[in-house]
Amino acid sequence: MDKKTGSGTLEYTGTAKGDRIIDFSYAGYKGGGVRIPEIPARVTVYPVAGDNAAHIQRIIDSVSQMPLQDGFRVL
């Protein structure tokens, strides 16, 4: 059962079996409520014929070598 509290928020209580509604209000970038930064794409990945695992790993390795600027990879 959920009920509205005096502060205008919902209070989630469990059932007799212990079931409860999970609160996802803090899910998201930096816990939610924070605008996602707009970062330009640096690499575009296109599929190759066959197994793409090695192809994708090479790109991950390449990007991991890019310098960090404010927590993001840049060229």
Q: What confidence score (pLDDT) does residue 3 get?
A: 54
Q: Is 5 a residue whose pLDDT tops 70?
A: no
User: Cα(first)–Cα(last) distance of the chain, in Å?
Assistant: 51
pLDDT in tens, 18-43: 888 877 777 888 887 888 888 888 89
Query: Phi-psi region for residue 53, left (φ > 0), alpha (ψ -120 to 50) or beta?
Result: alpha
Question: What pTM value is reported for the model?
Answer: 0.53
More confident residue, 62 or 21: 62
